[in-house]
Amino acid sequence: MSSRAESCDADFSRSFAIPQSLSDWEELLTVKSGFSEIGVALLSADFRFRAVNDCIAQMNGIAAEAHPGRSVRDVLGVLSELFESQLARVISTGNAVLHHEFSALLPGRARIGEWIGHYFPIKDSTSQIGLIGVILVETAQEKKLEKSLHAVSATLESEKKRVRVMTEVARLLSAKWDTNLVFPRLSTYLRRALRQEYASLSLRDQQSGKLVRKAIDFPLRMRSIPPADFGGPDDPGGKALQTRAPVVLDREEMKDFQSGTTDHLLTEGLKSLCCVPLIRPRATLGVLVLGSTRAQAFKSEDLTLLEQVAAQLAIALENAETAREIECLKHRLSQERRHLEGKTPTHDHFEGVIGNSPEFQAVIDQVMIVAETNATVLLLGETGTGKDLIAHAIHRASKRRERALVSLNCAAIPTGLLESELFGHERGAFTGAVRQKTGRLEMADGGTLFLDEIGDIPLELQPKLLRVLQDHEFERVGGNRTIRVNLRLIAATNRDLAKSVASKDFRSDLFYRLNVFPVCVPPLRQRREDIPDLVRYFVHKFAARMQHAIETIPSETMDALMNWNWPGNVRELENLIERSVILTEGTALRVPLYELTGPAANSEETSLQNVEREYIIQKLRETRGLISGPKGAARLLGVKRTTLQSKIERLGITRQDYSEQGPL
């Protein structure tokens, strides 16, 4: 090649980035701007056209879409000899042929023109030449076109860089989201294309609506950065958030914002600022902020890239939040199901007696000790603690378990009939005694007699009962025959018998005879850790009875049950759960907690009113203040809308109480 050709080759290489791969050639074929005087074609190894641009089509006088599959000779006729030798040279040597000068009257031209051709081998994956790339430049326009080619090449390179950035960002954001780890890498990818010195991510707080900075990338900063970028609508980030459009500012425009908003950025020497909102259909999530020490650093084409990145970032943030919500719901559902899972702990001989707390276990230990003896047992405790179940357990664990357990509630029988019910009567003993009656004492012979509410037995009957305990004998009402019995007595009361003895309402000798082995059954508020097991037992019991499938117990419901003081003890809990199973429509237990009324709910004497108030506020937060409707707080609480509104007024609940908190 001549020195002039070599010089031209060097000029061509400097002004035009030579395509290296098939994809480069395909991109070159699609570029139209600035390419009206440059012919670009792809030929197969057998000299058939694969693709051409509009310029080649005009030169050949044939439409571009008519070229593929046709040979060079078919299109150009004898003129093909000008090119075939060069194409053959590329095939034989495997090297490019540059600066092939020729003059010809091409079919699409009215006069002879001078041209310079460049031919390039395009190798496949096996390093074989599968295609030949051709670039034709008219000599008269060479300088102009070289400049144009250089601009197009630069545009292509810039577009490639942006595509690489978007690809890397997409790959980064598709991984598990962690703001502190991901954002610096995202900023690094953007820096390759935009050369910014500052980048930050600020997200919108759901309650206050303000922007809170979550991440920052500012390697060259000289001073510490304040805790937040932007706090309100009168700053760059707030403006982008309100307009839902990018905001680009120069240094003078940054100074126009109120004091303290952009001062730290100006101090660091930033001269350009770009705020791009993170927009999703439901809401604007936050703002991506970039800053540069160069004036007019962010161009319109940069905004296109940033908006694309912001869109992907918004999707990633929304997906991460959705994933967190799903994880929380899964955890919550798991917790709610766990309330009903597992076997309810029970004890031998203690059917229906539930509890593993240390306080209740102490009662079980005492019962197991005394059950094997014939000693009289006095069960003490508040009403509803399950004293009757303990009495039955003692009998089942005793040597008398094969005989009957006879029960009598002393408070449920009128005083005039209690003696006859207990001791029996002879025929004609009193008006209406038309036949002989066997009393409970005789019925319990050989077994166990359980006298509930023993503190209500009249004073006149107490000596007779004492005689039975001491001598194991008695006479029926109206009879004179002494009847001997062999029984064990278990008594129960919710009264303080010691005080009754002091006030002369109960005989001291009978009290001492009953108080051989006292067992104090603790109230439910003193064994709160047994409440989940009791709730599970009662839910399964009543759900099976009513053929109602209940799968979960809401955690807030269980917390409320755990915090209540249960003045009615286990009986109150059982009745509440039965009512709740009746009221429940779905698979989640719905407990009417608003019905609970009474004194302090926990050891810190938090009033029920406060518990109820906090519970209602919690539901209002969950529903974002919605009271009525399928997703309203009234529905969640299982009450009417008017009932809930009256409670809100009575408890002094304001909108500020349930809207001031942080994100749900």
Q: Are 496 and 456 in contact (CB under 8 A)?
A: no
Joined together, the tokens standing for residue 649 give 């007024």
4 pLDDT higher than 60 = no
The last residue of a domain, from among 120, 152, 184: 152
284 pLDDT higher than 50 = yes
Q: Provide mean pLDDT across the span 631-638.
A: 79
171-175, 613-617, 651-655: segment of lowest average pLDDT: 171-175
Q: Provide mean pLDDT across the span 348-369.
A: 83
User: Under 8 Å CB-to-CB from 127, ≥6 apart: which residues?
Assistant: none
What's the mean per-residue pLDDT of the chain? 82
602 pLDDT higher than 50 = no
396 pLDDT higher than 80 = yes
- Does one domain contain both 222 and 79? no
Closest CA to 141 of 116, 122, 161: 116
For β-strands 272-279 and 517-520, DSSP reports them as: unpaired
Provide φ and ψ at 138, rounded to 5°. -75, 130
- Does one domain contain both 145 and 285? no
Exposed, middle or buried, 320 (CB in 10 Å: 0-12/13-18/19+)?
A: middle
- Does one domain contain both 147 and 76? yes
10 pLDDT higher than 50 = no
Total domains in the chain come to 4
600 pLDDT higher than 80 = no
Residue 44's pLDDT is 94
- Does one domain contain both 580 and 434? no
Half-sphere exposure of 533 (CA within 13 A, CB side): 16
CA atoms of 421 and 83, how far apart (whole Å)? 128
Closest CA to 595 of 617, 579, 619: 579
Bridge partner residues of 610 (DSSP): none
Helix or strand run (H / E) with residue 464: helix 462-471
443 pLDDT higher than 50 = yes
336 pLDDT higher than 50 = yes
11-25, 158-172, 248-262: segment of lowest average pLDDT: 11-25
CATH assignment of the domain containing 535: 1.10.8.60
142 pLDDT higher than 60 = no
- Does one domain contain both 413 and 438? yes
- Does one domain contain both 38 and 118? yes
Look at residue 330 and tell me if it is in a domain: no
Residue 13's pLDDT is 46
Joined together, the tokens standing for residue 94 give 């495997």
Q: Provide mean pLDDT across the span 117-136.
A: 90
Three-state SS across 224-271?
CCCCCCCCCCCCHHHHHHHHCCCEEEEHHHHHCCCCCCCHHHHHCCCC
Residue 650's pLDDT is 79
- Does one domain contain both 430 and 499? yes
CA atoms of 142 and 115, how far apart (whole Å)? 9
Closest CA to 332 of 580, 34, 622: 622
Look at residue 166 and tell me if it is in a domain: no
Q: Are 254 and 293 in contact (CB under 8 A)?
A: no
One-letter identity of residue 403: R
0.85 cut: is pTM over it?
no
Closest CA to 56 of 83, 81, 94: 83
- Does one domain contain both 196 and 82? no
The Cα angle at residue 162 between residues 158 and 165, in degrees rounded to 5: 140
Closest CA to 86 of 129, 47, 143, 49: 47
Look at residue 380 and tell me if it is in a domain: yes
86-100, 291-305, 311-325, 472-486: segment of lowest average pLDDT: 311-325
- Does one domain contain both 132 and 181? no
Decide which of 596 and 100 is more confident. Answer: 100
361 pLDDT higher than 60 = yes
The Cα angle at residue 522 between residues 516 and 509, in degrees rounded to 5: 25
* 129-138: strand order across its sheet: 49-52, 38-44, 129-138, 113-123, 97-104
CATH assignment of the domain containing 374: 3.40.50.300
- pLDDT tier for residue 599 given thresholds of 50, 70 and 90: very low
Q: Are 57 and 68 in contact (CB under 8 A)?
A: no
Decide which of 373 and 26 is more confident. Answer: 373
- pLDDT tier for residue 177 given thresholds of 50, 70 and 90: low
Length of the chain: 664
Write down the residue that tokens 């009264």 correspond to.
495
- Does one domain contain both 567 and 629? yes
- Does one domain contain both 33 and 132? yes
Instruction: Give the single-character DSSP code of 347.
Output: B
The last residue of a domain, from among 152, 186, 213: 152
Q: Are 439 and 420 in contact (CB under 8 A)?
A: yes
Q: Are 87 and 67 in contact (CB under 8 A)?
A: no
For β-strands 448-452 and 488-493, DSSP reports them as: parallel
**Radius of gyration of the chain measured on its C-alpha atoms:** 47
Residue 254's pLDDT is 85
Write out the DSSP string of 12-65.
Answer: HHHHS----SHHHHHHHHH--TT-TTEEEEEEETTSBEEEE-HHHHHHHTS-GG
For 420-427, the CB contacts below 8 A with 24+ separation are 420/477, 422/461, 422/465, 423/464, 423/474, 423/475, 423/476, 423/477, 424/476, 424/477, 425/476, 425/477, 425/478, 425/479, 426/476, 426/477, 426/478, 426/479, 427/478
- Within 10 angstroms of residue 394's Cβ, the number of other Cβ atoms is 29
147 pLDDT higher than 60 = no
500 pLDDT higher than 50 = yes
- pLDDT 10s digits, 308-323: 888 888 888 888 777 7
Q: Provide mean pLDDT across the span 40-59.
A: 91
CATH assignment of the domain containing 216: 3.30.450.40
Residue 127's pLDDT is 85
Look at residue 331 and tell me if it is in a domain: no
Decide which of 602 and 228 is more confident. Answer: 228
Look at residue 343 and tell me if it is in a domain: no
14 pLDDT higher than 50 = no
9 pLDDT higher than 50 = no
Q: Are 253 and 303 in contact (CB under 8 A)?
A: no
CA atoms of 498 and 458, how far apart (whole Å)? 16
Percent of the chain with pLDDT over 90: 32
Q: Provide mean pLDDT across the span 514-527.
A: 93
Decide which of 160 and 334 is more confident. Answer: 160
- pLDDT 10s digits, 72-82: 999 988 889 88
Joined together, the tokens standing for residue 499 give 């005080």
607 pLDDT higher than 80 = no
The last residue of a domain, from among 323, 342, 370: 323
394 pLDDT higher than 90 = yes
Q: Are 573 and 566 in contact (CB under 8 A)?
A: yes
Q: Provide mean pLDDT across the span 427-436.
A: 83
Residue 149's pLDDT is 56
Residue 96's pLDDT is 92
- Does one domain contain both 367 and 291? no
CATH assignment of the domain containing 137: 3.30.450.20
Residue 324's pLDDT is 77
Q: Are 197 and 218 in contact (CB under 8 A)?
A: yes
User: Under 8 Å CB-to-CB from 581, ≥6 apart: which residues?
Assistant: 539, 542, 543, 546, 548, 550, 589
Domain around 380: 358-524
- pLDDT 10s digits, 196-230: 899 988 888 776 777 888 888 888 776 666 655 45
Look at residue 160 and tell me if it is in a domain: no
Q: Helix, strand, or coil here: 279? A: strand
431 pLDDT higher than 60 = yes
Q: Provide mean pLDDT across the span 537-555.
A: 88
Look at residue 340 and tell me if it is in a domain: no
Exposed, middle or buried, 316 (CB in 10 Å: 0-12/13-18/19+)?
A: buried
Joined together, the tokens standing for residue 284 give 């604007």
17 pLDDT higher than 80 = no
605 pLDDT higher than 50 = no
160 pLDDT higher than 80 = no
6 pLDDT higher than 50 = no
563 pLDDT higher than 60 = yes
- pLDDT tier for residue 189 given thresholds of 50, 70 and 90: confident
- pLDDT tier for residue 374 given thresholds of 50, 70 and 90: very high
